[in-house]
A and B are shown apart, each in its own frame.
Chain A
Amino acid sequence: MNDPLLEIRNLQIDGESDEIWHEIIKGIDLHLDRGEVLGLIGESGAGKSTLGLAAMNFCRPGCRIREGSIRFDDQELTEQSELTLRKLRGVRIAYVAQSAAASFNPAHQLIDQFSEIPVVHGVKSRREAEKDAKDLYGRVLLPDPDGIGYRYPHQVSGGQLQRAMTAMALSCRPDLIIFDEPTTALDVTTQIEVLTTIRDIVREFNTAAIYISHDLAVVAQMADRIMVLRYGELVEEATTREMMSSPKMEYTKSLWAVRSFKKEAETVASAMSPVVKVDNVTAGYGSEDILKEVSFEIHRGQTVAIVGESGSGKSTAARVITGLLPPRLGDIQLNGKILPKSFKARNKEQLRHVQMIYQMADTALNPRQRIRNIIGRPLSFYLGLTGKQKEARIRELLSLIELEPDLYIDRFPDELSGGQKQRVSIARALAAEPEFIICDEVTSALDQLVAEGILRLLDRLQREFNLAYMFITHDLATVKAIADNVVVMLQGKIVEQGSKTEIFSPPHHDYTELLLSSVPEMDPDWLNELIAHREKHGVMSSTSIS
């Protein structure tokens, strides 16, 4: 029992990007006891997934293990034949992928994909496997355990798929399960449910697990021990509580510090008419309405956060305001004047004043245009700047977003990091000298530190230019950080809206309550307490309200 289940020594993995190999795991040691749950955290590019997969001696195409040893239950995996490894995978080591939706084969029923593991590996007969599957479906709290297996992946919701995948991982009762960001793709409220399931099931079967995530708070709930990775190196390792209470390394501390940013004073709605007024708007595609009678205002220098889970219609609201989706009823006002419903009918001035920043900076910038042109275009298009003037202004904007002009002005987007790209798209929006900017999940694709930076930048710019922001997000932490007013949306309707303080201080609307409580906190016991609390006051779920 004392000998570790998994022991990795000085593991070095190379990755290839355009025909050049470079190290992405730089000599990491890792050990894991039976029944232990190890958390791996780090930002994107830290090599978490690569390391996780390496535990089964599996490398994605374009990666290769250069050196090191991987001992699993006293077998040296690096020396095993493909066959033995295959016999190991799925049976003794299982994997739960980030996106269950993509990782289930659309062509087969869930239960087929479940039972093929034990059947192919000769562990169980088909009948036993199916029986077991239904049993496990029950244990991971899937609705209708006996029937759901016969559905196809696309017929099942994301959260349920994630559970089904967890069940699948257990099909051969493995000694080790690797969870690769299993909840990242889910809404907070769903995330809670899945987290609980995973934790309980792991405990129940006393399976060892490696839990990979970029979200400290989540890992804190799941792991006994945590390893912090950065650029393929181990930064710090400690038991969860230890690391919570007293992180040693600077980097680790900075991770903790993320949520420290708070906007100074809340800007109160100025008396003058709002920059943007969404007036009782109903909109949607085809016959169904995605937005139902939505109204809110955004004033100068003010940030209104639109909060909601996927499908709540927050992005649709943005599309309506920009004119991409003409509303069916109601209208949009800019400085008291009604805007034409479709952007096609709006004039340059109106277009100029409504700018947008997108979630995916990679797709928001034309990869074939240099930064100069990306930022320069609005200048010449709206403000008719040319030559020296334009050049000067571009550089000015670059310095505004804290990018060294000489260094970046001639680059192509793919020569920038995610955060820098996001900054450039901010600059592009600024270049139009708008009164109003829509920020659509601008930070959710970024690592926490980078996101932090972006938030600060946005805040500074707001104060400098007295901008009005509409901040669309599902992450309440961000809301707490930057919002003045909050609009909570659920299934196309506004459940509650008001100033940040109002919203974040009880009494809450049920749904807001659910949302707030679902945000993981930096406390290993948070989940337990939450569950306990909820059991006391009757379970709630996003679906049970509306």
Chain B
Amino acid sequence: MNKILLMILQRFGLGLLTLFVVSIIIFVGVEFLPGDIAEALLGQGASPENVAALRHELGLDRPAHTRYIDWWAGVLQGDLGTSLANRRDIAELITFRLSNTLFLALTAAAISVPLALLFGILAALYRNSLYDRSVNVVTLGAVSAPEFLTAYVLILYFSVKLGWFPSLSNIDQDTSFIDKLHQVALPAITLMGVILAYMMRMVRASIINLLASAYIEMAHLKGMPKFRVIVKHALPNAWAPIANIIAISLAYLVVGVVVVEVVFIYPGLGQLMVDSVSNRDIPVVQACSMIFAGTYILLNLTADIVSICTNPRLLHPK
């Protein structure tokens, strides 16, 4: 048991380290961006001392490393600082966006994960059957279509033509849950198109892999019902790969949805980060990338933990 704890802690530490390095990379990256927020805000109409004045006002005239250190100091005290662009509190700026992003991600995941598992397992069970082949083709089609295509087509039919769902997700803090669902319907479907297919294929692959193993054959020879073979014998050994698949998909759902946000005007984190980069709004960019990287690392960590905790060799050492 302690061994497991140790492994997890080790992974965790590694994650933190990665996070730290990421923060440096991003900071340096944004530093390298030509122009700075002062110029970005004032535009080409700016006169040199205009810019200088704004820089001073924003404290951009301090050397980079001090700003970086101050930033960390703030973060460690749970203060993400304020946006340089509009002097608003980043924490509040982000909580709104993040909650939206997560809501969208979870909605999409909540539907696609179970479906993916179900379809995947079925496809694995009846592999090379008509079902398997057709599902295979369909899913491949889904992954192949660029998101904006799916998105626009959805809008055309379900919003413009049928008027079932709004073409833009106009949600805010006090939108009711049901209403929210209605609002994110189209973006969620768009995202599902991509990850559902992807996950399903992965699940299928890993299950098929399992089914090839000797103990599954043994289970059959013991006269176990097909269903039991899958549930009792295959699945317990499939958690690790499946957890991984889910983690990757979720990570994608959180960080990879800029296009969808743009098309559906969904006030998510991606859009915020892109804008902030264009504004050179370093603290916001930092905060966003920390969240993104954090999510990615956390999800992978969880996947690791799952695979550790479902591995009997580690769970029940000799």
A and B touch in the complex (CB under 8 A): yes
Query: Which residues of A approach B to under 8 Å, CB–CB?
Result: 53, 56, 58, 60, 85-91, 94-95, 97, 99, 102-108, 116-117, 120-121, 151-155, 168
Interface flags, B54-82, vs A, CB<8A=1, else 0:
00000000000000000000000000000
B126 CB to nearest A CB, Å: 13
Q: A60-B217, A154-B313, A155-B318 are contacts. A88–B232 as well, Cβ < 8 Å? A: no
Q: Is A90 in contact with B223, judged by CB distance below 8 angstroms? A: yes
Main secondary structure of the interface of B (DSSP, over half): helix
Q: Which of B212-250 contact A (CB under 8 A)?
A: 213-215, 217-225, 228, 232-233, 236-237
Q: Does B316 contact A (CB under 8 A)?
A: yes
Residues of A within 8 A of B318 (CB): 154-155
B73 CB to nearest A CB, Å: 43
Residues of B within 8 A of A86 (CB): 223-225
A262 to B237, CA, bound (A): 49
Q: A86-B225, A90-B223 are contacts. A107–B236 as well, Cβ < 8 Å? A: yes
Q: A154-B313, A154-B318 are contacts. A105–B233 as well, Cβ < 8 Å? A: yes
Give the residue among B217, B218, B313, B316 with the most A Cβ atoms within 10 A. B218
Residues of B within 8 A of A56 (CB): 221
Chain B's closest residue to A56 (CB) is B221
Q: Does B312 contact A (CB under 8 A)?
A: yes
Q: Is B225 in contact with A106, judged by CB distance below 8 angstroms? A: no
Chain A's closest residue to B310 (CB) is A107
A99 to B221, CA, bound (A): 14
A117 to B217, CA, bound (A): 14
Q: Is A155 in contact with B215, judged by CB distance below 8 angstroms? A: no
Chain B's closest residue to A165 (CB) is B218
Contacting residue for B222 out of A107, A117, A154, CB 8 A: A117
Q: Is B223 in contact with A154, judged by CB distance below 8 angstroms? A: no
Q: Is A103 in contact with B223, judged by CB distance below 8 angstroms? A: no
Residues of A within 8 A of B214 (CB): 97, 99, 102-103
Q: A108-B236, A154-B318 are contacts. A102–B224 as well, Cβ < 8 Å? A: no
Chain B's closest residue to A88 (CB) is B223
A344 CB to nearest B CB, Å: 30
Chain A's closest residue to B218 (CB) is A103
Q: A97-B214, A116-B232 are contacts. A105–B225 as well, Cβ < 8 Å? A: no
A238 CB to nearest B CB, Å: 29
Residues of A within 8 A of B215 (CB): 102-106
Give the residue among A87, A88, A105, A152 with the most B Cβ atoms within 10 A. A105
Interface flags, B145-160, vs A, CB<8A=1, else 0:
0000000000000000
Q: Is B218 in contact with A95, judged by CB distance below 8 angstroms? A: yes
Contacting residue for A105 out of B221, B237, B313, CB 8 A: B237
A48 CB to nearest B CB, Å: 16
Complex A-B: 19 CB contacts under 8 Å: A56-B221, A58-B220, A86-B223, A87-B223, A90-B224, A97-B218, A97-B221, A102-B214, A103-B215, A105-B237, A106-B237, A107-B233, A107-B312, A116-B224, A117-B222, A120-B223, A120-B225, A120-B228, A152-B316
Q: Is B221 in contact with A91, judged by CB distance below 8 angstroms? A: no
Q: Is B223 in contact with A117, judged by CB distance below 8 angstroms? A: yes
A54 CB to nearest B CB, Å: 12
Residues of B within 8 A of A155 (CB): 316, 318
Add 20 more A-B contacts to A107-B310, A151-B316 (CB < 8 A). A87-B223, A88-B223, A89-B221, A94-B222, A95-B221, A97-B214, A97-B221, A99-B214, A103-B218, A104-B215, A104-B218, A105-B215, A108-B232, A108-B233, A116-B222, A116-B224, A120-B223, A120-B225, A152-B312, A155-B318
Q: Which of B173-213 contact A (CB under 8 A)?
A: 213
A108 to B214, CA, bound (A): 15
Residues of A within 8 A of B312 (CB): 106-107, 152-154
A318 to B312, CA, bound (A): 33
Give the residue among B217, B222, B232, B310 with the most A Cβ atoms within 10 A. B222
A56 to B217, CA, bound (A): 13
B234 CB to nearest A CB, Å: 9
Chain B's closest residue to A82 (CB) is B226
Residues of A within 8 A of B218 (CB): 95, 97, 103-105
A367 to B252, CA, bound (A): 38
A127 to B65, CA, bound (A): 69
Give the residue among A88, A94, A97, A107 with the most B Cβ atoms within 10 A. A107
Chain A's closest residue to B211 (CB) is A61
A117 to B213, CA, bound (A): 19
A281 to B111, CA, bound (A): 62
A95 to B220, CA, bound (A): 10
B287 CB to nearest A CB, Å: 42
A288 CB to nearest B CB, Å: 15
A104 to B213, CA, bound (A): 10
B235 CB to nearest A CB, Å: 9
B206 CB to nearest A CB, Å: 15
Residues of A within 8 A of B232 (CB): 108, 116
Contacting residue for A89 out of B213, B223, B310, B313, CB 8 A: B223
